[in-house]
Structure 1
Amino acid sequence: MADVQTPMKTMYRNLLLTRGGDVWAYHRIKAKSIPKQNEKEVESYKKRWREFLQELTKYQDFHFMMYPQEYQLHERFENLKQDVALDTEDMANYYLDETESLLGQRLGTVTKSDFIVGVRLRADMVRIDADVKENMMSMLSTATDTIVNLLGWEQEVTTSFFEKYQEAEQELADTMGMVDGAPLTEKEMIYINRYHFIRGLDHQVSEEMANASRKAVTNTLIDPTSPSVLNLNSDEDEGYISFVVIDEFPRNMADSDLFYETQALPFPVEVDIKAQVESKSQTKMKVNMKKKQLRESAREQNQTGDETDASISESDQMIRNLQDDIKKDDVHMFNWMAVVIVDGQTKKDCLTRAKMVKRRLKSMGIVARIPVADQLSLFYKFLPGEPIDVKDRNWMQKTSQDGLAECLFGVNASVGSNIGFFVGWIDRFEQHKDLDAAIGSSRDPVFFHPFLANQQIKGTKTKSPHVLITGDTGNGKSFLAKLLFIYISLLDIKCLYIDPKKELRKWIRKVMKNQQVRKDFPLFVEHLERFHFITLDPEDQANWGALDPIVFLPSTQQKEMVTMIFEQVYDFSGKDDVHTAFLQSITKVQEQKEKGEKVGSMHVIYEMQAHEDVDVRKAGNFLYEVMADGVMRLCVHDGSNDALSLNRRISIVEIENLDLPEVNDSYESYTSEQLKSSAVMYALGRYCELFGQNKDERTAEFMDEAWMLTSNPTGKKVEKKMRRVGRSYSNALYFISQSTKDALREEESNNFGVAFAFDEPTEREDVLKWMNMEASDENIDMLDGMFQGQCLFKDYYRRTAKISVECLFDEWAGVFETVEASAVATAEEMWWA
């Protein structure tokens, strides 16, 4: 057994004092989510890092660390439970616990990549303001430190020692601001140091943060006796780790993307780079020597009659370019080592992962090795506070800051909410044979909370709670919408689902009739029984007038809505007298309503039928015949029936016997019945607007087939008002449609805080633009290659990623089905070769 000594002596805030007297400062880099295929954005990020590394060259030693930080899913779900409704508490607790368990079974420990930069502060940057005696004591302290530690004593370091570094650390922090860096807290420093001794081992982050002593940080037995691995044994767990060392990068490091690409591996990895700036004098000397060697090689080849090798000519040109850059003083050379660290419960598991890392790197043109006998020395070399020794030439890389920037440190593919429900997996634009393969290869779960956009959360780019779900029929948008609806129904939110196709009730009933589901999942069945279904069927007299504007709208909104409904079936243009009489009739009916009389929109027609003007009476008679039967009875009645309730917490409104036009039909081509159906949809839209106008409660409306509202100017006006409600009220509109065109209107581009875009072949360039992605051929091909159930997801932070939607619970998935597979379809899959 070997007890590896950490370089750490003590810590203060984000500073680490080593046994050798060096002080390192550690900062967390806020990860930036960039779609890898957004080439311009990636290049802009690398340019910023080249500039940052240039600023960093005033220091000498650096540590770039990407490690799989535990996601602490249990703690996050405990936070989410604070938003759960009292009547769904048991079900929400059960399914959140199930989510945690199922993700744990798939992934082991759920992690996300965290990015840390350590910088050794130079002693000549420290402001010495102590008197001579204090300076001498400080020198004595450093000189005797080794002896004291050999005696097993801890030498106390006062805070005044670290205060001398305050100015130097502040200067470094300002530089770190270029890449969104922030100092670690002291607890985080404790954990970062402890992490190296418990990689892959079961532990609680909060507990490890609480153990501040050096003995607690290093409390792990490390056994290096097995080749190519180290055996770690802590109080809690036992496992293996292996260092995979980068031996050779391609000559041109462009797009090497080491940190980003390794995140796509199907297991958690740590990637570390230890770097050291080379002095300009050393660089010039080595460049001149290299140039001399190349010319001698070329001369020898020419003397033997051979032509100069292309590699020599290419290297000579690179040396010349480097000399020119050095003269301009805008290039520094870095010596650095890079490792990828994997873990496993057994030696076999660990080595299998190490070999997978080698294969992944090989596909990127990077040569890696799994050292047999140097695992322990690598462990020590990559501990925080330990600088590399450039005399050790094994695995050493030499590049300018441009080469380091190409490793793409600090970039991930994150999207969604830090607190929220599970909705699927990030797909890093890899090639997969089907949706299951895409899901199975991802380690990046996606979570989403429906009510965060307007909570003034730091970093969000929108205040709109509205959500756009678009895509061609059959790609999965209805499945996602229903999944989100079930999740929202668990929260303390009043929610409404408009289902023009009457699909949801069918599948819910099917699930509820399943005796096995009733037996195994009683909480789910009990929850479904809370759903209040309202079927707006004009054949049922009890529904007549359910959407009558005179009955359910405030008086200030009645006239506008009544006019809009009537204009769907009667053209008032050129008939000023009739139009005036019509408006006067509305006013008279409103006055009757204010007096307490039971009236409805049909009374407007009665007033016109009784008018002294013959043309007005004719118009009234016509409207009576049109409104007296069919779907218009839902909107035009005598006030004797109640309108839709605004008080139910979970409601699903269906509309039976509507003749809805197709999405691509022009408004001018609508038939008489389609115009009437459109009028009902507009009235329903206004009901939704009213549904979300109570400032004392949070509300959400799901508008399926929402394109119905935006197919003509009148409907667009209603839909626009619905979206405006969310700006000043806690109201979210889930706009489910086949087209993004309405969302892409410039004046409305910020009205949807979140968007899920499934493929729509005729609008791919528009979809990419809306989703903050480049409309490149590569991205268009990516949309074309998406499977059913995959979409682009743009979150509150304006981050975009390709995701694979998944519901973890089979009993839920039965509710979301929109097409029942036939026996032949099932057989087709079975015989697929």
Structure 2
Amino acid sequence: MQENLLLTRTGDVWAYHRVKPKSIPKQNDKEVEGHKKRWREFLQELTKYQDFHFMMYPQEYQLNERFEHLQQDVAWDTETMAAYYLGETESLLEQRLGTVTKNDFIVGVRLKADMIRVDADMKGNVLAMFSTATDTIVNLLGWEQDVTTSFFDQFAEAENELNDTMAMIDGVPLTQDEMIYVNRYHFIRGLDHQVSDEMANASRKAVTNTLIDPTSPSVLKLNSDEDDGYISFVVVDEFPRNMADSDLFYETQALPFPVEVDIKAQVESKAQTKMKLNVKKRQLRESAKEQNMVGDETDASISESDQMIRYLQDDIKKDDVHMLNWMAVVIVDGTTKKECLTRAKMVKRRLKSMGVVARIPVADQLSLFYKFLPGELIDVKDRNWMQKTAQDGLAECFFGVNAAVGSNVGFFIGWIDRFEQHKDLDAAIGASRDPVFFHPFLANQQIKGTKTKSPHVLITGDTGNGKSFLAKLLFIYISLLNVKCLYIDPKKELRKWIRKVMKNPDVRRDFPLFVEHLETFHFITLDPEDQANWGALDPIVFLPSTQQKEMVQMIFEQVYDFKGKDDVHTAFLQSITKVKEQREKGMTVGSMHVVYEMQDHEDVSVQKAGNFLYEVMADGVMRLCVHDGSNHALSLNKRINIVEIENLDLPEVNDSYESYTSEQMKSSAVMYALGRYCELFGNNKEERTAEFIDEAWMLTANPTGKKVEKKMRRVGRSYSNALYFISQSTKDALREEESNNFGVAFAFDEPTEREDVLKWMNMEASEENMDMLDGMFQGQCLFKDYYRRTAKISVECLFDEWAGAFETVEASAVASAE
């Protein structure tokens, strides 16, 4: 081996490339068809090479290494807790899945001898031929010959040409270590090993260091120096006549255990194809003639086959259509023979449900093992289980596609659901082998392949579907990072459940690290009944001078209509300017002094407006925003903050702005002030910040609030600031001018907005997808990541002590009994 090239004993040189998989929702028909079209075009280019090998294998996920990278982002005061819970995540996932794996896609292509050094002179070509002949003779004699690295130099041009072809499917040459591991993998399938260790100890001579025992029927037993286990080859025997939507590689990924799928293919010459078609055509016509002679009608199968051959003969006349002979196997493993055979039978059943017939060979397991090693050819002797299709048929196997979504390095948040039918959420979680990880600060890190630079996250969906649970899970994870975070909790739910968890003696005894972490949370309850909170959100006190006037106007306009009252409006604006100047001079003033100024105005109409505003602002929730400046405003210095609001009368999400009551208008004013506080909270380029705004639709209920929310989102573009916008509606996010403001989206079902949700999540608004949303369980949502990949996921928190802090409804005894 040299880099990604492999030289076999017969003098063949193969080149191996890794294909970066595409994440495509299976139900997006246009995307699926687009991928298959691209692969048809690629296979047309690939037919100038005689032999190729497609391999999908479950590579170890290397969770430990990924979490070590994640640990670099952890805050100094949470290092111990983060290390514990990342270790627990790794342990729990491995308990559930065994070895955590992700599917890797490899394409091997045999480089043709006539493509080597095409520009060399006659003497060079003769020498190359002589060298090849010498190698062949040496191998026939059973001798070994050392091959110098310079031998592979003559393949440089052919390899460069192949690289251009592989670029059509995002193929990248394997490195030397990866090449050795891919070859070694075939001898340690399913056996306990570390990818990093196998690469570190990479040796060509150690590739085959495994004892293979073929004495048991239908399986092979593998014994390495570290582990032993069983493998079984399940051979695809028959595809349907129409191979459309066969999706062999994609469908087998949904099995509840890791599988490998291999296809070895060989291009058939045009002359051979034409000859076989002519022979077959004569056979069919003779059969039809015999049936007609005895008075029978021609069988439908004969007529259909005759028609298919005519179509194929027309296609073969085209330069870019070739027939391929290929074999496909699905390889399973198990720690015992029984487990291995059980999995093999499950593969058979899965393929049968797709209309594909598969067999578990009894006596041919060893020959299949060697047949599917890298560099091995299929040939005329391999008549059993051979498939014969044009390139279109092979493209229908849907190679190079997975359902991946999320981050490669991040916190565990749930499982991918491949749109299967399940009886409940637990069944959906139990059927998945695809964990989802998420890191909240990757969008603006210039990572190759990301489609957005916005760190903002939208969490949307109907009440009770699980969006608050997910938001709180993400908040706890972010609180472990070196990030200053803020959670706006208008419903005052979080403190209640966190206190309940902290008071639980079992939790305090068994999970002291978690309890210590919760004790660091800084709770601020904005209760207008408590005089200490008055003015906590006063714009004159907490906002910079340049932003005070606009925000004071916004608050006052919620309770007083200045339209048609120019004199009053002018006096109001002048009063704001005067109070601002007083504040800048160091005087203790607040927004209430604007009212005082109006009350002291010489114009009677202004005085009346001032008196009215005084009565409105003097009690209730407005005291949080309008006060005399004698109290401190909300702090911007604590690392983990939870701001609660007591006694807010929030309108319903579907209520029109015109129908808001007086108290609801006042509550809206408080929410706007909070929104501006959040904007200021994330306005420091020297630190990473995150703000969670629950019931965020309150901000966008009218044009004034939309303006505040828009400014908040703009902060994240140039600052390391992430806004988590938790709302029941996606309508504002769907506006064209704002479509790029949310880098990530989690969409729970909202029955009245399903079509909008699907469009926003890059899913086709088909009837099938509508039914999929309708069939979602509580805790399931669509997840669109930084790479614009979308998948249906089942949210899960692995830790019971955490989940207790996220509950939004306390189950009654009757509910538990039910």
Please indicate the TM-score interval, normalised by the length of the shorter structure.
Answer: over 0.9
1:392, distance to aligned residue in structure 2 (A): 1.8
TM alignment of 1:162-201, pairs within 5 A: 162-201=152-191
Q: Which residue of 2 aligns with 1:391?
A: 381
SS in 2 for 1:475: coil
Whole-angstrom CA distance in 1 between matches of 2:200 and 2:130: 32
- Answer yes or no: is the 8 Å Cα contact 2:180–2:204 preserved in 1: no
Task: Give the corresponding residue for 2:12.
Answer: 22
Cα deviation for residue 576 of structure 1 reads 1.0
Give 1:215 shift. Answer: 2.2
Q: 1:537-576 counterparts in 2 under 5 A? A: 537-576=527-566
Pair 1:752 & 2:742 matched? yes
- Give the residue type in structure 2 aligned to 1:462: T
Q: 1:314 aligns with which of 283, 304, 327?
A: 304
Equivalent pair of 1:24/1:120 in contact (CA under 8 Å): yes
Q: Name 2:674's counterpart in structure 1.
A: 684
Shift of 1:212: 3.7
Task: Output the CA distance in 1 between the equivalents of 2:417 and 2:646.
Answer: 39
Letter in 2 for 1:138: S
Give the deviation of 1:327 after TM superposition: 1.4
What residue number does 1:142 align with? 135
Q: Is the 8 A contact 1:19 1:145 kept in 2?
A: no
Q: How does 1:471-620 map to 2 (within 5 A)?
A: 471-620=461-610
- Report what 1:467 is aligned to: 457
TM-score normalised by structure 2 residue count: 0.99
**Structure 1 residue identity aligned to 2:80:** D
Separation in 2 of the partners of 1:572 and 1:672? Answer: 16
Name the CA distance, whole Å, in 2 between partners of 1:134 and 1:391.
32
- Structure 1's 139 and 45: CA in aligned 2 closer, same or farther, altered over 3 A? closer
Q: Aligned-pair distance for 1:607?
A: 1.0
Letter in 1 for 2:68: E
- Matched residues in 1 for 2:196 and 2:130: separation? 37
What's 2:65 paired with? 75
- Give the residue type in structure 2 aligned to 1:83: D
Q: In 1, are the aligned partners of 2:11 and 2:132 still within 8 Å (CA)?
A: no
Paired residues for 1:342-741 under 5 Å: 342-741=332-731
Say if 2:62 is the partner of 1:62. no
Q: What is the rounded CA distance, in whole Å, between the counterparts of 2:216 and 2:775 in structure 1?
A: 45
Task: Measure, in 1, the Cα distance between the counterparts of 2:133 and 2:104.
Answer: 39
SS in structure 2 opposite 1:801? strand
Q: 1: distance between equivalents of 2:560 and 2:335?
A: 75
SS at structure 2 position matched to 1:64: strand
Superposition pairs of residues 120-135 of structure 1, within 5 angstroms = 120-127=110-117, 129=120, 131=123, 134-135=127-128
2:810 aligned partner: 820
Distance 2:132 2:674 in 1: 80
SS in 1 for 2:72: helix
TM-score (norm 1): 0.97
For residues 129 and 227 of structure 2, the distance between their equivalents in structure 1, rounded to whole angstroms, comes to: 46
Query: Could you report, residue by residue, the CA deviation over 1:295-343 in whole angstroms, capped at 9, with x for unpaired residues?
Result: 1111111111111111111111110000111112231100000000000
CA distance in 2, matches of 1:721, 1:548: 19
Alpha-carbon distance, 1:145 to partner: 3.1
Question: Residue type of the partner of 1:269?
Answer: V
Alpha-carbon distance between aligned partners in 2 of 1:825 and 1:208, rounded to the nearest angstrom: 52
Query: How far is the alpha carbon of 1:825 from its aligned partner?
Result: 1.2
**Using the alignment, how far apart are the partners of 2:445 and 2:458 within structure 1?**
19
Shift of 1:136: 7.0
Out of 330, 348, 359, the residue aligned to residue 340 of structure 1 is 330
Deviation for aligned residue 1:137:
6.2
Alpha-carbon contact 2:797-2:803 (below 8 Å) kept: yes
Distance (whole Å) between structure 2 residues aligned to residue 707 and residue 503 of structure 1: 18
CA distance in 1, matches of 2:134, 2:201: 26
Amino acid at match of 2:474: L
- Determine which of 61, 76, 91 is the counterpart of 2:81: 91
- Whether the 8 Å contact between 1:211 and 1:217 is mirrored in structure 2 is no
The residue that corresponds to 2:768 in the other structure is: 778
Partner of 2:759: 769
Shift of 1:141: 4.1
CA distance in 1, matches of 2:382, 2:470: 55
Distance of 2:549 and 2:351 partners within structure 1: 68
Distance 1:205 1:145 in 2: 35
Separation in structure 2 between the aligned mates of residue 327 and residue 621 of structure 1, nearest angstrom: 92
Post-superposition Cα deviations, 1:505-564, rounded to whole Å, max 9, x if no partner, equal 000000000000000000000000010000000000000000000000000000000000
Q: Deviations over 1:186-222 (max 9, x none)?
A: 1110100000000000111112113343321110011
SS at match of 2:687: coil
Aligned equivalent of 2:283: 293
Which deviates the most, 387-396 or 562-571? Answer: 387-396
Residue correspondence of structure 1 range 198-213 to structure 2 within 5 A: 198-213=188-203
Aligned partner of 1:8 in structure 2 is none
1:252 alignment partner, one of 242, 248, 251: 242
Structure 2 gaps, min length 5: none
Question: Is structure 2 residue 95 aligned with structure 1 residue 105?
Answer: yes
Deviations 1:43-83 (A, max 9, x none): 11101101110011100000000000110011000000000
Distance 1:331 1:393 in 2: 23
- 1:330 corresponds to 2:320: yes
Q: Is the 8 A contact 2:11 2:136 kept in 1?
A: no
- The residue that corresponds to 1:49 in the other structure is 39
Q: Is the 8 A contact 1:793 1:800 kept in 2?
A: yes
Contact 1:229 1:240 in 2 (8 A): yes
CA contact (8 A) 1:259 1:408 kept: yes
Distance (whole Å) between structure 2 residues aligned to residue 86 and residue 390 of structure 1: 65
Structural RMSD (CA): 1.1
Whether contact under 8 Å (2:761, 2:782) holds in the other structure is: yes
Query: How far apart in 2 are the matches of 1:530 and 1:420?
Result: 23
What SS does the corresponding residue of 1:740 show, helix, strand or coil? coil
Distance in structure 2 (CA, Å) of the matches to 1:195 and 1:135: 33
1:618 partner letter: K
The aligned amino acid for 2:135 is T
SS in 2 for 1:165: helix
Using the alignment, how far apart are the partners of 2:290 and 2:635 within structure 1? 93
Deviation at 1:147, TM superposition (A): 5.7
